Every structure is written in C-alpha cells, then in structure tokens.
Amino acid sequence: MVNSIGYYGQVRVYAKVVANNSKDINGIKLEVGDVELVERLDVDSSETLTKIVVAKDNSGDYKTVQAAIDAVSENNIYPVEIFIKDGIYKEVINITSSKPFIRMIGESKEGTILTYDNYNSKPKPAGGTYGTTGSSTAFLYADNFIAKNLTFENSFNDPSIEDDGRQAVAIKSQGDKMIFENVRFIGNQDTLYANAGRQYFKNCYIEGDVDFIFGAAQAVFNNCEIYSLDRGSSVNNGYVSAASTPIKEPYGYLFINSRFLSDAPEGTVYLGRPWHPGGDKYAIANVVVRDSYLGAHIKAEPWTDMSGFKATEARFYEYQNSGPGAVINPSRKQLTAEEAKKYTIENILDGWNPEEVLNK
C-alpha cells in the first residue's frame, strides 16, 4: 500500500507492508506494518500541472465552478489549475480540506464573478437557518490554495432584514498557505471570514460595512484597498475588522502598504473591535495597521469594544500611517521602530514566503 505526504516543495512517497512474505528489491524480507520511504518528488518542478477550463457557454470542460472542483482527485499532490472564463457564476462553492493545491484563476478580476446570496437568518430548505458560516458563497478549506483575477461576492443586501440576521459571507477561508492575488471580495456585513491558517492577500479589493474582515487566521493584507460602505449613519458606519486571534498566537492580521477608503462621512468608521466567538476569553484580537493610508472616514478613536470585551485588552497597534484618518492620540497604540520589526510579512506568516510561490 502506497501513501504520499505532499506540500509545495516536495512530496514524500511511503509504502506500508500489508502482506506476509513480502520482500524488497534486494530480496530482504519485510515485516508487516513496516513503513518505508519509497521516493521523493519535487512538486515545484513538476510538469504535471492539470488545467481545467470553466465556461458558461460550453466552450470549456465544465459550465460550473463546483463541477470543476468535484473533478479534482481527493488528496491530490500536484497543482491543478481551474481557469474560469468571464461570466457570473451563481453557485455555492466548496473546496474541502481533502483537495489541496487548487489554483483558481479567473479571466479577469471584474468579469469573473463567483456569487450567491445566502445570509444568516435565511431559512434552509430542510429547516433552521444558514447562520453566519453557512451563508458563505465559497467555503475554502484546503491547504496551498491560490486564487487570482476574480471576484468572490455575497450579493445579499435586503434592508428589511434585522441587524442580527444580516451576516452574509463571501468566503470562509481556513486552509494553510493560501494566496489571493488581484481578487475582489464584495459584500456588506462579514464579507471575508479569514478564520485559520496562514493567508496572504496581495493587490486585493475588500468591501463591506460591519466586521467585514474577521476571524482567527494569521493573515497579511499587502497593498490592498479596504473599502467601507456608507450605511447612511452620521455616527457609526461600521467596523473594518473583528479579529478573534487565539491568545497563543503572537500574530493575527497585518495590513501593510494598504489604503482604507470610503464614501462614508468623516469620522464614522472604526478600524476594528475584538471578537470573542461564543464568549471565548482566549480569543485576544491582534490587528496591526502599518505604512498605510487612512481616509477621513476613520474615527479618531478607531478601536472599540465588542460584546462586553474591551478594545484596550486586545492587541491593536498602528505604525507610520498617513492620511486624515491617521491621527495619533492616547487611544491609539503606536509601535516603536523596534517593535515594528516584529510585524513583518515573514513573521506573521511564520517563515512562509508566498512571493516565492507567486514568482514561480
């Protein structure tokens, strides 16, 4: 019986002895249960990349994105590219943890749109409601996932639904070593649920209003545009982040070289608040905004409490930001130059360098 353990860089193939009287190539008897390394395969240099094309007009291999995902083998060890031609694909997408190494590439960022409109309080056909997690347009649970040049959207926006039922997630991402480059995330409340593992967002556009970047992942947002929607309030137009970083993790969300923009009135948007799922006292948010532009919509006191948990007890920091929203006052903890050396892309991602993957 042969199994493989794979990751970007190398795959190790092992054989386990399952029959009596087995021998190796040298004629030496093997014991049942023995596990031997058979071969090492270099995934990065492999030329076995599989490409699947999705097109609504029947010009590809499949008409839906999920059909292409379903065609990928379980526990695959080589990259599989799913190229999606421009079009609006209204479907719920699910990439399970057993399907790593998928590269989802759109024809264009604005033209390739993966969308659905579930929301928290929406009734399910079998009873109950979808809930926040269940409202996701895309469930992305596999390691070594890459998305480029497309849009993930949750199109729900019914003002008649009460606040406690409006959560509508565009993606829930919780694989390790996930990369999103030149991707748009469109929604309102709870747009991007980055909840576990190491995740890298480069040149992305993320839009929403309440807690629209949230979860427990170690995530870097590099050169991204973070756009807060105007909810029509003269006082509170929402919260950019709601991190739930586990206390054991030294790092959570890092926004670097990014732009926080909005058409909301001046001083009406918070940078974030600390989310404690289920009242978990060990979820101590870590969010750092550095070397970024903050528009006038950001409040002078941009970090606030949530569900009885104090912002002052979370790990919220800023460093060398600019723009009208980047005022400095006692409520905004500023990193020293020495402290800022810790909050780098490399450290947040625990030594993993996603740029090496993107440049291959």
Residue by residue, pLDDT tens for the chain (360 residues) are: 333 333 334 444 445 566 677 766 556 666 766 655 555 444 444 445 689 999 999 999 999 999 999 999 999 889 999 999 999 999 999 999 999 999 999 999 999 999 999 999 999 999 999 999 999 999 999 999 999 999 999 999 878 777 777 899 999 999 999 999 999 999 999 999 999 999 999 999 999 999 999 999 999 999 999 999 999 999 999 999 999 999 999 999 999 999 999 999 999 999 999 999 999 999 999 999 999 999 999 999 999 999 999 999 999 999 999 999 999 999 999 999 999 999 999 999 999 999 999 987
Same domain, 122 and 184: yes
The residue annotated as part of the active site, out of 176, 209, 211, 350, is: 211
Could you tell me the CA-to-CA distances from 178 to 45, 182, 194, 258 in Å, in that order?
Answer: 20, 14, 10, 19
Report the C-alpha gap between 213 and 272 in whole angstroms. Answer: 9
Structural domain for 151, as ranges: 47-358
Same domain, 76 and 41: no
Same domain, 58 and 2: no
pLDDT of residue 34: 61
pLDDT of residue 234: 95
Same domain, 123 and 23: no
Same domain, 209 and 276: yes
Nearest to 210 by CA among 300, 275, 295: 275
pLDDT of residue 153: 98
Same domain, 142 and 24: no
User: What is the count of structural domains for the chain?
Assistant: 2
> Tell me, what amino acid is at 224?
C
Residue 211 annotated among the catalytic residues of the structure:
yes
pLDDT of residue 15: 56
Query: Distance between alpha carbon 117 and the CA centroid of its chain, in Å?
Result: 19
Report the C-alpha gap between 252 and 260 in whole angstroms. Answer: 18
pLDDT of residue 47: 45
Same domain, 155 and 230: yes
pLDDT of residue 160: 78
Same domain, 40 and 52: no
Surface-to-core class of residue 346, CB atoms within 10 Å of its CB (0-12 exposed, 13-18 middle, 19+ buried) = exposed
Same domain, 41 and 114: no
CATH of residue 272: 2.160.20.10
pLDDT of residue 334: 98
pLDDT digits (tens, 9 = 90+) for 126-164: 999 999 999 999 999 999 999 999 999 999 987 877 777
Same domain, 294 and 167: yes
pLDDT of residue 159: 80
Residue at a domain's end among 31, 46, 61: 46
Query: And the tokens for 96?
Result: 């399970």
Report the C-alpha gap between 19 and 293 in whole angstroms. Answer: 64
Same domain, 34 and 61: no
Same domain, 7 and 83: no
264 CB neighbour count, 10 Å cutoff: 24
The secondary structure of the chain, three-state, reads: CEEEEEECCEEEEEEECCCCCEECCCCCEECCCCEEEEEEECCCCCCCCEEEEECCCCCCCECCHHHHHHCCCCCCCCCEEEEECCEEEECCEEECCCCCCEEEEECCCCCEEEEECCCCCCECCCCCECHHHHCCCEEECCCCCEEEEEEEEECCCCCCCCHHHCCCCCEEECCCCEEEEEEEEECCCCCEEECCCEEEEECCEEEECEEEEEECCEEEEECCEEEECCCCCCCCCCEEEEECCECCCCCCEEEECCEEEECCCCCCEEEECCCCHHHCCCECCEEEEECCEECCCECCCCECCECCECHHHCEEEEECCECCCCCCCCCCCECCHHHHCCCCHHHHCCCCCHHHHHCC
pLDDT digits (tens, 9 = 90+) for 22-50: 766 556 666 766 655 555 444 444 445 68
Please provide the size of the chain in residues: 360
